[in-house]
Chains A and B, each alone.
Chain A
Amino acid sequence: SQLAEENPWALSVHEGESVTVNCSYKTSITALQWYRQKSGEGPAQLILIRSNEREKRNGRLRATLDTSSQSSSLSITATRCEDTAVYFCATDSAGNKLTFGIGTRVLVRP
């Protein structure tokens, strides 16, 4: 079973709307990372939020972390077509490596 899992599997919004992707994980962590992967490219990190942080922002992106419920969310405001991508959460619960979820496919329509 997955140590980290995003939901929903896919979602679609219109440009300008906000979107939220959720992540649940199963073990204790020191940090959780959010990555974005555009079609034909490698993943790129968006935000790293440590276990002692509850919220982190990066421009239009906002990540939250709730270690008690072992969950995180990534919100994107004022979405643009170029935000269309697969969004992954990744946890460092395994020590020297990250464990990625399967990802949420986000489509931003004009």
Chain B
Amino acid sequence: EAAVTQSPRSKVAVTGGKVTLSCHQTNNHDYMYWYRQDTGHGLRLIHYSYVADSTEKGDIPDGYKASRPSQENFSLILELASLSQTAVYFCASSRTGGDTQYFGPGTRLLVL
């Protein structure tokens, strides 16, 4: 079965601080994604990647950076965390761009 793990599972950060969310997949999938979920907005795509060492902007990339150092790992970086970035963040992987996405359990981020 597909396996996507995220760390940390929850985090409290201070405004202006740097936050790094990590994602690891053992599916041998080329595509990985970062979403944020807020009440009333569903899942919104922040960044995605289809090959190691390359990332693409999603629908809401402002304020976020991404890093894909290997096929298995994909990180989301908030250089200067803001209150508006309080949300639940999900990582996902898929074999191809339009294929089934397998999601991690999520990271709950609270920025104070």
Q: Residue of A at shortest CB range from B35?
A: A100
- A33, A41, A43, A97: the one contacting B45 at CB < 8 Å is A97
Tell me the complex Cα distance, A33–B94, Å.
Answer: 13
**Contacts of A32-50 to chain B: CB distance below 8 A:** 33, 40-45, 48
Are A42 and B105 within 8 A (Cβ)? yes
Are A95 and B103 within 8 A (Cβ)? no
In the assembled complex, the CB of B81 is this many whole angstroms from the nearest CB of chain A, namely 22
Q: A96-B50, A97-B58 are in contact. Are A102 and B98 (CB under 8 A)?
A: no
Tell me the complex Cα distance, A30–B99, Å.
Answer: 10
- Residue numbers in A under 8 Å from B98 (CB-CB): 30-31, 92, 95-96, 98
How many residues on the B side are at the interface (Cβ–Cβ under 8 A)?
25
The prevalent SS among residues of A at the interface is loop
In the assembled complex, the CB of B23 is this many whole angstroms from the nearest CB of chain A, namely 11
Are A41 and B100 within 8 A (Cβ)? no
Are B100 and A33 within 8 A (Cβ)? yes
A25 within 8 Å of B (CB atoms): no
Are A44 and B97 within 8 A (Cβ)? no
- Residue numbers in B under 8 Å from A41 (CB-CB): 105-106
- Residue numbers in A under 8 Å from B104 (CB-CB): 42
- Residue numbers in A under 8 Å from B97 (CB-CB): 92, 95-97
Tell me the complex Cα distance, A103–B97, Å.
Answer: 21
- Residue numbers in A under 8 Å from B40 (CB-CB): 102
Interface string of B42-54 (1 = CB under 8 A from A): 1111001010000
Are B42 and A103 within 8 A (Cβ)? yes
In the assembled complex, the CB of A86 is this many whole angstroms from the nearest CB of chain B, namely 9
A-B contact pairs, 16 of them (CB 8 A): A33-B100, A40-B106, A41-B106, A42-B4, A42-B104, A42-B106, A45-B100, A45-B102, A90-B101, A97-B45, A97-B58, A98-B98, A99-B45, A100-B43, A100-B44, A102-B41
